[in-house]
Amino acid sequence: MKNKGLLIVVSGPSGAGKGTICKTLVERNSNVFLSVSATTRLPRTGEIEGENYFFKTGEQFKEMIANDELLEWAVFCNNYYGTPKKHVYDMLDEGKNIILEIEVQGALKVRSKYPEGIYIFVLPPSMEELKNRITNRGTEKQEVINERLNTARLEFTHINKYNYIVMNDTVDDAVNKLESIITAETCRVERSTEIIKEVCDI
């Protein structure tokens, strides 16, 4: 008998490395899957439609909102981001653990609808390191870098709405912490009622 899967929501400022640690977590765990978000942001080099994001026009995205096809959506740096909900719910019902790597605005919306999820905030080792990571991408203009750093400071004010923080100093350490959180949450009594009934006959 399978438990229902965990919805694991991972947020953090741009440049904190949440994408890298989520990708590594999925590669190391066969029952953890990364949800694919829809966005109006233009693809970066190497990004694949349907694998990294579902890339949408503004008009297409607004149609998804109107048709209630999104678990959450938010505007970040003038682009829309959202999570198509049916795919997520279907996988949870199959017992699969789903990672939502989304911005803080979206995470708070998900929490209001799905409070039983696991909410994790990824921190950089320092603001200086965060600035270095964003700058070293080589894809952002200085005004965008400044905007992302200011946004990060605002995002930090919402940390108390999350269940856990994970500092991304090294990828391996951060992923190890995520795995420990998932293991502990999977073993919670309130998530195992069906198994308890089956084994204990109560």
What is the rounded average pLDDT of the residues 37-51?
92
pLDDT for residue 137:
73
Residue 8 confidence class, pLDDT cut points 50, 70, 90: very high
Whole-number pLDDT of residue 15:
82
**Does the pLDDT value for residue 1 go beyond 80?**
no
**Average pLDDT for residues 12-38, to the nearest whole number?**
92
Mean pLDDT of 174-199: 89
CATH class of 7-200: alpha beta
183 band by pLDDT with thresholds 50, 70 and 90 = very high
Q: Which of 90, 116, 160, 161 minimizes the C-alpha distance to 7?
A: 116
Q: How much is the mean pLDDT over the chain?
A: 90
Residue 176 predicted with pLDDT over 70:
yes
Q: What percent of the chain has pLDDT over 90?
A: 56
CA distance 6 to 166: 18
In tens, the pLDDT along 79-119 reads: 998 999 888 998 899 999 999 988 888 899 899 889 999 99
Confidence band (pLDDT; 50, 70, 90) for 123? very high
pLDDT of residue 138: 67
pLDDT band at residue 173 under the 50/70/90 scheme = very high
Task: Supply 16's token pair.
Answer: 């904190």
